[in-house]
Amino acid sequence: MNIGEAAKASGVSAKMIRYYESIGLIPAAGRTESGYRVYAPTEVQMLRFIRRSRDLGFPVEKIEELLALWRDRTRQSADVKRLATEQIDGLERKVREMQAMIDTLRHLADACCGDHRPDCPILADLGHGVEHGLNGAGPQGSKVGPMRLSPIR
Amino acid sequence: MNIGEAAKASGVSAKMIRYYESIGLIPAAGRTESGYRVYAPTEVQMLRFIRRSRDLGFPVEKIEELLALWRDRTRQSADVKRLATEQIDGLERKVREMQAMIDTLRHLADACCGDHRPDCPILADLGHGVEHGLNGAGPQGSKVGPMRLSPIR
DNA sequence: CTTGACCTTCCCATGATGGGAAGCCCTATC
DNA sequence: GATAGGGCTTCCCATCATGGGAAGGTCAAG
């Protein structure tokens, strides 16, 4: 099985397979006499493992740990579960941040009539940087809200 | 006002101010005789605009458009609103993707007892790549679900 | 005049991925 | 057997927004 076939079978692009090898996430593949990489079903399975982990949002660094646990017959499932719950927590944090952005944006967009006239509360907010009253209840409204979030990245 | 003061006043780091200037997002700042950048309140306001737009998740490319509309007295608020709703749509798409990951992960984590034993449905799923039965109802369950998502990025 | 805090430019790194060039290899077809 | 086309190899570059740091100039307070 050469790299193209392994890529198709695993869902990981040939480019990424080489990359994963270069950073040591997977061991160096065997080679034919002419230098082509050769993959056994075991290695394809490992690539599928990686692909699936990526699909769940795990960074390569964490996938390294997951792979180590996968290979370790004496692992403790608690370690795996911890990685999973940490991943959940990280994703939920990002979701909360983005949801806050969405809430602010929707509030602003709702206030913008979106016609041919130039007046626009969205630009007014961005330019002025004032409180935008997501809590319409008045001046005693708490200052909490979807503002000043750390960037997503 | 030098770059450090402008950074503090706007919430944009000096490093990023220089970067924004280098990519043409903001016009080149004035200079003192000795070469220090000088910022007027107008420019600080523009930086705050950028900072706030970034906080709402807008990429620099879109901020360029927002700034252009901000400066354009003959703009149509519909254009601003379109940018905002596109941003909302993009964020919501990402939230949905992440929520699907969270759902899958939570399902797997719930099935993992997380003790000292090596048996782990999380690793079994990642390694085997099988259906993981989010719909516990049986074999007739639909195949839809939080699988094979495009990466977040 | 020295010291420390600031400024300047320039280079490098991130994380995961793709694009592309230059060159070798393999297979099928003529 | 020659040739064409597709696949493989390595190497470099780009992304996107941000930070780190080095080398060197500048400013203000003591």
Q: What is the 3-state secondary structure (H, E, C) of B75-135?
A: CCHHHHHHHHHHHHHHHHHHHHHHHHHHHHHHHHHHHCCCCCCCCCHHHHHHHHCCCCCCC
According to CATH, the topology of domain B3-56 is Multidrug-efflux Transporter Regulator; Chain: A; Domain 2 (1.10.1660)
Q: Is the predicted pLDDT of residue B57 greater than 90, yes or no?
A: yes
- What is the pLDDT, as a whole number, of residue A141? 30
Of B131, B126, B101, nearest in space to A68 by CA = B126
List CB contacts (< 8 A) between B118 and chain A.
Answer: 72-77
- Give me the helices (H) in B56-76, please: 60-71
Q: Which CATH number, 1.10.1660.10, 3.60.20.10, 1.10.3720.10, 1.20.1270.10, labels domain A3-57?
A: 1.10.1660.10
Q: Is the ipTM of this complex over 0.95?
A: no
Report pLDDT digits (tens) over B70-113.
999 999 999 999 999 999 999 999 999 999 999 999 999 999 99
Distance CA A2, CA A4 (A): 6
Mean pLDDT confidence for B11-28: 96
- What is the pLDDT, as a whole number, of residue B145? 33
Q: Which residue has the tokens 């056994």?
A: A40
Of A105, A137, A142, A103, nearest in space to A121 by CA = A105
Distance CA B41, CA B43 (A): 5
Q: Which nucleotides of D are covered by protein (CB under 7 A)?
A: 7-10, 16-20, 25-27
Best B51, B65, B102 residue to mutate vs chain A (most A CBs within 10 Å): B102
Mean pLDDT confidence for B113-118: 94
- What is the pLDDT, as a whole number, of residue B128? 80
A52 touches B at CB < 8 Å? yes
B126 touches A at CB < 8 Å? yes
The DSSP output letter for A20 is H
pTM: 0.84
B149 touches A at CB < 8 Å? yes
Report pLDDT digits (tens) over A39-86.
999 999 999 999 999 999 999 999 999 999 999 999 999 999 999 999
Q: Is the predicted pLDDT of residue B31 greater than 80, yes or no?
A: yes
Report pLDDT digits (tens) over A89-141.
999 999 999 999 999 999 999 999 999 999 999 999 998 865 444 433 333 33
- What is the pLDDT, as a whole number, of residue A129? 61
Report pLDDT digits (tens) over A10-46.
999 999 999 999 999 999 999 999 999 999 999 999 9
Domain boundaries, chain B: 3-56, 77-128
- What is the pLDDT, as a whole number, of residue B66? 96
Question: Residues B53, B58, B60, B66: is their CA dihedral positive or negative?
Answer: negative
Which residues fall within 8 angstroms of residue A91, CB to CB, at 6 or more apart? A57, B98, B101, B102, B105
Q: Which residue has the tokens 């990519």?
A: B23
- What is the pLDDT, as a whole number, of residue B55? 95
